[in-house]
Structure 1
Amino acid sequence: MKNQGWIYLHLNTAQDFAMSSGIEMKDFYHALSDKMHHLLLLKHKFEQSSFNMHTYLEYVHEQEVQELVKEDISAYGDFCWIDFEDEAGVDEMSAQELAELLYLGHMKYHLNIPFYKKLNNRFVYLSSEDGMLNRTYYKDWTDFFMMVGKVIPEKMAGRKNTKLLQWKKEKPIPPIPKEVVMTISHLLREGVVISFQHGAINKGNVEVPVWVSGDYVNMDDLQEDMQKKYKREPSAVFSYDRKTKEWSAI
């Protein structure tokens, strides 16, 4: 997926999922790898997976996930998984639970909120084109805010060949503390665009603007509508003070 210069986020806390655009599997993994174990693959094209005889589904061992994220996952088309702690739990899945997993992979939506004691899963990751529009379920919303706090600085620093980066020896921009990201959670529930192309990096600080966008499922429509909204003042700004080395949300 081409770096689009912005992230779209929309939270549905009532049903434990977030919709996102601009965040790929590699971003998700690098931010939350310490929270993930093995992945039960519901839809994929990864050739190095193992096979579970009970569910007739393939899976990736914890140590092999880093190989998976090196692939061009957006070229897979459908890419869906649910994490699990131990294969013994997968072998205990009931027919009803398996049916729910197959529905997740096929419809990219849940029949029941998809957290299973047998799997002890923290996430469910559903996409038709990785990074374009993903539905991701979070058992603990702290993981979501932590992930966003890590992804934003990395995406901002990655805006190369623009006027944003003017110094060859730039110090890495630290993650935004989850507590700071949480201060705009009320905006995230409305749907927001975090724009790196409208941000700024200079010797004194880093600024990343956030605009309320509303709820979208078509990213072309979102981009078209945002051209008007970008002309207005942003709804919030993440700001990093290089002197105090602290992030804030204004």
Structure 2
Amino acid sequence: MRDNFIYINMEELNNVIFTFGISDADLVNGLSEVPDKILLIDNSVEGNRVNTHTHFQMVVGQNDVRNFLLDRQLRPKKWLDFQDLDDVDLLMPTEIAELLYLSHMETHLNLPFYAKLQNRYACLDIHDNFKKSYFHRLKDFSHILDISMKRHLRSMHSKRWTMFNRPLAVNDLSDEIINQLQPLFREGVIFAFDQVVERKRQYLIPVFAELKPEQQPTWHEQEDVFRYTERVATLIYVITEHRWKLNIERKEAFDVLGEL
């Protein structure tokens, strides 16, 4: 499967975002603060401690958490943050069962935010390098997306200009543009960095809206990714001005989705 694209599908009702192309490093670099304690709800990987009440592995210590999240060899990562070690001992059997269900079925029985843990996130690696992340505050995702967008653009640029060693300075994606794109997140959107065109010192990144989001879990081959999509906009980075622009090509796609 091609991998030089970003896919986003946001369920605002459940505070969950389904993504592809947003790496562990994007997540770590995009969080306002890396957690200093995480609970591992899948037994596939080990932490540096074990909670005897739940039998879940834990990673304790901000540097250890950062190193754990950035380790590409550890898969799958399924975790949620928490504030105090003693609070994990307060989890009820039903709550432990919910976390086991979340890990095994990769969906929730109840939203995985627990007052006793005071967690802000719950993140799951799922099939084919997709991620499913629950955010207590959905707006926390904006900076992560900005970090990922800039990384993809720099990566694409460096591959094109390898011989000339021309690094690309990329400014932040503005809140205004993210807000304009927000309606597309609800049904699914693809930022196709593998189809970028350079024209007049601008990078033109095609934006595709997903027409059949129910088909997404069946993606297996490269051609499947764009099979049920249509191009609705172009995200533009103006190299000489170091700024982003959005050219909307199918306004009705934004209007219809925006009414949901």
Fold match by TM threshold 0.5: yes
Residues in 2 aligned to 1:249 and 1:94: alpha-carbon distance in whole angstroms: 48
Deviations 1:139-160 (A, max 9, x none): 1111112211110110121126
Match of 1:49 in 2: 48
Q: How does 1:65-84 map to 2 (within 5 A)?
A: 65-73=65-73, 76=75, 78-84=76-82
> Is 1:133–2:130 an aligned residue pair?
yes
Cα gap change, 1:163/1:171 in structure 2, threshold over 3 Å: closer, same or farther? closer
> Is 1:114–2:112 an aligned residue pair?
yes
Residues 16 and 135 in structure 2, CA contact (< 8 A), matched pair in contact too = yes
Residues 149 and 178 in structure 1, CA contact (< 8 A), matched pair in contact too = no
Offset of residue 136 of structure 1: 1.0
| Stretches of structure 1 lacking an aligned partner (at least 5 in a row) | none
Cα gap change, 1:17/1:228 in structure 2, threshold over 3 Å: closer, same or farther? closer
Bigger drift between 145-154 and 194-203 goes to: 194-203
Residues in 2 aligned to 1:164 and 1:35: alpha-carbon distance in whole angstroms: 33
Residues 165 and 201 in structure 1, CA contact (< 8 A), matched pair in contact too = no
Residues in 2 aligned to 1:179 and 1:119: alpha-carbon distance in whole angstroms: 34
Match of 1:23 in 2: 22
* DSSP-derived class of the 1:101 partner: helix
**Counterpart amino acid of 2:118?**
N
Match of 1:185 in 2: 182
Q: How does 1:1-250 map to 2 (within 5 A)?
A: 4-32=3-31, 34=33, 36-43=35-42, 45-61=44-60, 62-73=62-73, 76=75, 78-129=76-127, 132-159=129-156, 162-163=159-160, 167-200=164-197, 204-214=201-211, 215=213, 216-220=216-220, 223-224=223-224, 226=226, 234-250=231-247
Bigger drift between 14-23 and 214-223 goes to: 214-223
Cα gap change, 1:81/1:225 in structure 2, threshold over 3 Å: closer, same or farther? closer
* DSSP-derived class of the 2:7 partner: strand
Residues in 2 aligned to 1:225 and 1:71: alpha-carbon distance in whole angstroms: 27
Q: How many residues align?
A: 243
Offset of residue 248 of structure 1: 2.9
Identity %: 23
Cα gap change, 1:84/1:149 in structure 2, threshold over 3 Å: closer, same or farther? same
Residues in 1 aligned to 2:164 and 2:199: alpha-carbon distance in whole angstroms: 9
Cα gap change, 1:191/1:205 in structure 2, threshold over 3 Å: closer, same or farther? same
**Counterpart amino acid of 1:29?**
V
Offset of residue 219 of structure 1: 2.2
Residues in 1 aligned to 2:161 and 2:206: alpha-carbon distance in whole angstroms: 14
Q: RMSD in angstroms over aligned alpha carbons?
A: 2.7
Higher helix share: 2
Offset of residue 221 of structure 1: 5.8
Residues in 1 aligned to 2:17 and 2:222: alpha-carbon distance in whole angstroms: 17
Cα gap change, 1:136/1:45 in structure 2, threshold over 3 Å: closer, same or farther? same
Scaled by the length of structure 2, the TM-score of the pair is 0.81
Deviations 1:103-154 (A, max 9, x none): 111111101111111111111111234x622211111111112211110110
Residues 17 and 138 in structure 1, CA contact (< 8 A), matched pair in contact too = yes
Residues 159 and 165 in structure 1, CA contact (< 8 A), matched pair in contact too = no
